[in-house]
């Protein structure tokens, strides 16, 4: 039996063939968003992405588990921010391709009035997110770059949806690790913290150098696959992303330990220490 088409095929039409993929989507070059989609069990990816994912799994067979755990932490964070902390405005930078349990779906399930601005610099995310969000007037998508925060926070859609004088949350799920040291991830995090009003939150999740040699090996395979950087920074380096914020319990920890919920994939795998996440609150 033929498999059901994924959102990309539905968007492009299953008969359309590769030549009808929008010009800005390069099917020959790997994409972080599409590899992540593949790792989560999605269908919006091409052979080049699947080959790169296979290369990563040769080094770390639990690579797909790590992606699922990253997504789990994102869900946990949104449940906490909207369900417990009362946040009703979210800017999700490096949002990735829509998948099951998107930020706006979790948030608006808990509090329908929650507004969400999604941001990603991959054109494939733009194509999908526009289709998904066409009928949701509390949610929008910007094709923009984390390294240009003024373009994000000054964008008319952000200004329309997010009252930046009131508490809002910035989500940086699996994105700072894609910035090189020269791109100053600490400075980028500091800029975002400065934009938060009192009562605002910063969520960060990233790969972590847990001392295992295969962490460095995975970083190398990632770069050699043409995906750019996936830096494994230490806990000590990453805690600085939260400078001046109050860390929400239990702090900056492996994803399976952040208020472990029922939907954590394979909760006991030792590989979880290769990914950490935390949430900080501005006093
Ligand atoms: C690993 S995915 C994470 C998706 C989602 N945040 C999550 O945690 O499940 C990282 C995303 O960040 C995006 N990205 C990477 N660098 C970026 C940048 N400089 N500006 C905006 N988006 C970026 C990629 O296109 C990709 O969709």
pLDDT at 244 over 70: yes
Answer whether the bond into residue 250 is a cis peptide, omega within 30°: yes
Confidence of residue 203 (pLDDT cuts 50, 70, 90): very high
Residue among 29, 42, 91, 96 to mutate when testing ligand 1 (max atoms within 8 A of CB): 96
Q: What is the pLDDT of residue 17?
A: 32
Cα-to-centroid distance, 131 and ligand 1 (Å): 19
Whether 178 maps to a domain, the answer reads yes
Ligand 1, atom 1: closest residue by C-alpha: 174
Asked whether 68 and 43 are in contact (CB, 8 A), the reply is no
Considering the domain boundaries, does residue 183 fall inside one? yes
Please indicate, yes or no, if residue 109 is contained in any of the structural domains: yes
- pLDDT at residue 282 above 60? yes
Indicate whether 18 belongs to any domain.
no
pLDDT in tens, 75-98: 999 999 999 999 999 999 999 998
Cα 174 to ligand 1 centre (Å) = 6
Res 221: pLDDT: 85
Domain count, the chain: 1
In a domain, 62, yes or no: no
Residue 15 placed within a domain: no
pLDDT in tens, 134-168: 889 999 999 999 999 999 999 999 999 999 999 99
Residue 162 included in any domain = yes
The CATH number of whichever domain residue 205 belongs to comes to: 3.40.50.150
CA of residue 121 to ligand 1 center, whole Å = 8
Q: What are phi and psi of 143, to 5 degrees?
A: -85, 90
Host domain of residue 93: 69-210+229-281
Reported as a single tens digit per residue, the pLDDT across 98-126 is: 887 899 999 999 999 999 999 999 988 98
DSSP code per residue over 86-151: ---EEEEES--S--SS-HHHHHHHH-TT-EEEEEES-HHHHHHHHHHHTT-TTEEEEE--TT-HHH
What span, in angstroms and rounded, lies between the C-alpha atoms of 274 and 271? 6
């Amino acid at each position: 039996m033929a498999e059901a088409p994924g959102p990309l095929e539905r968007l492009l039409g299953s008969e359309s063939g590769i030549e009808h993929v929008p010009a800005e989507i390069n099917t020959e070059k790997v994409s972080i968003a599409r590899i992540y989609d593949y790792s989560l069990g999605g269908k919006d990816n091409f052979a080049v992405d699947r080959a790169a994912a296979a290369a990563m799994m040769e080094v770390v067979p639990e690579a797909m588990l790590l992606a699922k755990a990253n997504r789990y932490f994102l869900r946990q964070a949104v449940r906490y921010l909207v369900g417990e902390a009362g946040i009703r405005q979210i800017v999700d930078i490096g949002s990735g391709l829509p998948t099951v349990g998107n930020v706006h779906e979790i948030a608006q399930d808990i509090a329908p009035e929650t507004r969400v601005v999604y941001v990603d610099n991959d054109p494939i995310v733009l194509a999908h997110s526009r289709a998904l969000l066409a009928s949701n007037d509390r949610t929008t998508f910007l094709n923009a770059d984390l390294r240009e925060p003024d373009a994000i926070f000054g964008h008319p859609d952000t200004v329309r949806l997010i009252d930046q004088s009131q508490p809002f949350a910035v989500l940086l799920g699996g994105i700072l690790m894609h910035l090189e040291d020269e791109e100053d991830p600490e400075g980028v995090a500091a800029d975002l913290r400065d934009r938060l009003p009192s009562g605002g939150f910063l969520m960060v999740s990233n790969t972590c150098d847990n001392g295992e040699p295969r962490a460095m090996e995975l970083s190398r395979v990632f770069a050699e696959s043409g995906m750019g950087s996936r830096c494994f920074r230490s806990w000590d380096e990453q805690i600085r992303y939260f400078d001046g914020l109050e860390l929400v319990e239990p702090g900056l920890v492996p994803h399976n330990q952040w208020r472990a919920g029922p939907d954590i994939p394979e909760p006991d795998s030792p590989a979880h220490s290769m990914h950490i996440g935390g949430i900080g609150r501005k006093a």
